[in-house]
Amino acid sequence: MSDPVLRIRDLVKEYRRPRTSLARPGPVVHALRGVSLEVTRGERFGLVGESGCGKSTLLRILAGVERPTSGTVEVDGLQVAGRSERRLRPLRERLQLVLQDPMSSLDPRMRVKGIVAEPLVAQGLAADVGRVADLLREVGLSAEAAERYPHQFSGGQRQRISIARALAPRPEILLADEPVSALDVSVRAQVLNLLTDLVEQRGLTLVFVSHDLSVVRHLCERVAVMSDGRVVETGPTADVYDNPQHPYTQRLVAAVPSLEKALAGATTADLAAAELRETERTTAQ
């Protein structure tokens, strides 16, 4: 096995809530409680757990968006925690983030060509029309989409635009925070298949956050299960799914929804028709 590209050691993140009394400070919320993980280069790694377990907080710290209270985060030997924004700039090219709700993460006033080129412009890289068109085609959209606005697309198409933007600076690591949870099941399957293809074609390392273990089983080779700010179980996804050891993981697996059945039973035509229906609904609004 190759050396880890991500190393997380004893990571703690605490938030202090607003005070409710002048006599004492607000209570402390423990989002992460000593999390330690490693992700190998080229691996598809999943983080699962219920809402509020700390998985999205962990992803934001990996991206350098938030700072931990204590502990260390290394990306290919580069210490992330505690670095200034200027010193994090080299990391931005190598590591990109795809968020849950593309409508809130895409600027509604910008055309798609500006959205996709945004990380390139921010890093002083070339952002020509041809490169934007190539990125859109790579995620299954036509080059003509560059002239339109986010509200003119379906939910699945908007997430494809978000993925194109994340791929623009040619990152080595892709962080995905619940990127399909807001989509219909059939459209979700399309986006998951797209991510699988892109990770393989580009040789990306993927860290994929979800509350749905069936989604992670479809996409990821290895998984860590989080509960109350801690990692309670980790291992190959099939092993964790088929033979969960921790009581929390057992409850999580027992509640797995029907995505696996939808993926197994849906034909390519079914999935394309679902995407078309979603586009028609969006256009009619």
Q: Which of 31-35, 154-158, 221-225 has the lowest mean pLDDT?
A: 154-158
272 compared with 207, residue with greater pLDDT = 207
Angle at 222 between CA 216 and CA 227, to 5 degrees: 70
Spatial contact of 189 and 258, defined as CB atoms under 8 Å apart: no
Q: DSSP E strands: which ranges in 118-247?
A: 173-177, 205-210, 222-227, 230-236
Q: Above 50 in pLDDT, residue 134?
A: yes
- Residue 120 tokens read as 């390139």
How confident is the model over 212-249, as pLDDT tens digits? 888 898 899 999 999 999 999 999 999 999 999 999 99
Report the percentage of the chain scoring pLDDT > 70.
86
pTM, to two decimals: 0.84
Comparing CA positions, the residue from 42, 33, 28, 37 lying closest to residue 62 is 37
Q: Which residues lie below 8 Å from residue 247, measured CB to CB, with a gap of 6+? A: none
Q: Above 80 in pLDDT, residue 5?
A: yes
Average pLDDT value for the chain: 84
Return d(Cα 162, Cα 78) in angstroms, integer.
26
262 compared with 115, residue with greater pLDDT = 115
Angle at 116 between CA 263 and CA 220, to 5 degrees: 30
Determine the average pLDDT of the residues in 261-278: 49
Q: Which residues lie below 8 Å from residue 185, measured CB to CB, with a gap of 6+? A: 258, 259, 262
* pLDDT band, very low/low/confident/very high, at 43 (cuts 50, 70, 90): very high
* pLDDT band, very low/low/confident/very high, at 267 (cuts 50, 70, 90): very low
Q: Into which CATH architecture does domain 4-284 fall?
A: 3-Layer(aba) Sandwich (3.40)
Comparing CA positions, the residue from 275, 103, 276 lying closest to residue 193 is 275
Q: Above 60 in pLDDT, residue 204?
A: yes
Spatial contact of 120 and 127, defined as CB atoms under 8 Å apart: yes
* Predicted pLDDT of residue 92: 72
* pLDDT band, very low/low/confident/very high, at 125 (cuts 50, 70, 90): low
* Predicted pLDDT of residue 279: 47
How confident is the model over 61-85, as pLDDT tens digits? 998 888 899 999 998 888 877 666 6
* Predicted pLDDT of residue 93: 75
